[in-house]
Amino acid sequence: MPPPALTPVKLIQNVRLPGKDATWNIAVSRPHGSPHSIITDITPHPNADLEQTAPLALPALTHPHIHLDKAFIHNSPEYAHLLPSTGSFAEALSFTTQAKQQFTREDLLRRGEWLIAGSVSAGVTAMRAFVEVDHTVNLTCLEAGIALKDEWKEACAVQIVSFAQDPIFSGEHGDDNRQLMEEAVRLPQVDVIGTTPYVESSVDASKQNITWAIERALECGKHVDFHLDYNLDTGKEALVWFVLRTLKEKGWTSQSTDKRIMLGHCTRLTLFGDEEWRLLAQEIRDNDLPISFVGLPTSDMYMASPPCSKSHDRPRGTLQVLEMTNKHGLDTVIGINNVGNAFTPWGSEDPLSLACLGVGIYQAGTKANAELLYQCVSTRARAAIGLSPPQTSLSLNPGSRADILLFYDVDDTGCNVSKPRHGVAGIVWDPPTKACRELVVGGQLKASPCSLCPKSAFCFA
């Protein structure tokens, strides 16, 4: 199935903007030699008023952390024998390893297309996509990911992570896995080096893993992304301190490279006290380290639990994203991680569902918190993966890439009833269905055969 048809637009008219009265027109054009259009002007709509029918225009969505090759394993009949029976982390690792033995290019392309298509229809225009490289799959997942990246480039910027889920410094296949990663990370289509230090057999091997990834990222000019400290065990060393020390020793600062570091999961950090958080934030700030954290609550709450927990006492851990941002000044976002597999059998590919979930997880019911949660799956997320400059608001600005998501108040019930949602908070608290959304990506309107939204807002180029 080909990517959706895209139609260039020159004007989006009579839209509401967050924090502004009346309605507005957004002019869009493509600079000479540019592959995409930018916002050139935002002006009041003639005879502007606050019509409830006017759509709300917001920045498009971003996946800062999602696994492309493992998506929707549970939706494919050939993996029916690998549905969870205990729901444990060990089972998820085992079943995913078994599933990988069946991966084919055709299967990877089909499930990867499901993920990208579903994400784009939700309003996603950029994603950091993990694809595994190891002795089981060799470069098959990576090659499929690169093919999908190229095929969908007009609709979605797919940032490819060459990802070592398995050990690269321990175990029977560590050397083979590392050699494959050495080959993969040098490919020009690979944007990010990703590893999972906690799967190594010892702390020393985990530290070798971290050092290798940082050295190769600096050598090859790539971002680095660690699945880190995925436990709730006070008896285990928090390796985030080793990551910071190694980054400093290797000279990775905002002045030496424009590449960024992402630390994912980090559930062990939820056991930190205020002083540890203060020291962590100060260490990052004082050494000018371009670090972002990504909380992955759908996976973390399903999988991250303390060792030997009793059946009546089963706490779960996920990064307190809003507190990390507001109280400690850390750059923190949220991501889907997995969808439709043993690591996360629940949830969808829609980032707005995650922002909505965050309201409950973080007890974040204010309008300001809703806006921050939307940023965490849009502007902040895009900046965290290095695809745009930092932006801590939801404003659409002249000069920015024209990636715009429109939300309409339309009847999606089939009962001739439409329900208004007021502002960003209304969108986060009760996410509209995909049929209530229209996406402009790079200045082009995505065809939406199932959309209920009128096209009267658009003047086409």
Residue 344: CB atoms within 10 A of its CB come to: 23
pLDDT tens, residue by residue, 65-83: 999 999 999 999 999 999 9
Query: Domains in the chain and their CATH numbers?
Result: 6-59+394-460 (2.30.40.10), 61-364 (3.20.20.140)
Rounded mean pLDDT, 215-237:
95
Which range is least confidently modeled, 84-88, 362-366, 441-445?
84-88
pLDDT of residue 311: 58
DSSP SS3 for 309? coil
> pTM to 2 decimals?
0.95
pLDDT of residue 380: 98
* Residue 184: partners with Cβ closer than 8 Å, 6 or more residues away: 133, 139, 142, 162, 190
Measured CA angle at 39 (ends 33, 45), to 5 deg = 145
Q: Is the pLDDT of residue 367 over 80?
A: yes
pLDDT tens, residue by residue, 150-167: 999 999 999 999 999 999
Q: Is the pLDDT of residue 51 over 60?
A: no
pLDDT of residue 317: 86
pLDDT of residue 149: 98
Percent of the chain with pLDDT over 70: 96
Nearest CA-CA partner of 216 in 177, 186, 260 = 186
pLDDT of residue 442: 96
Mean of all residue pLDDT scores within the chain: 93
- pLDDT category at 305 given cuts 50, 70, 90 is low
* Helix ranges, 304-422 (H): 321-326, 351-361, 367-376, 379-384
pLDDT of residue 88: 83
* Residue 107: partners with Cβ closer than 8 Å, 6 or more residues away: 76, 78
CB 58 within 8 A of CB 20: no
Burial class (CB in 10 A: 0-12, 13-18, 19+), 166: buried
Q: Is the pLDDT of residue 376 over 90?
A: yes
Dihedral sign for Cα atoms in the order 88, 91, 96, 97: positive
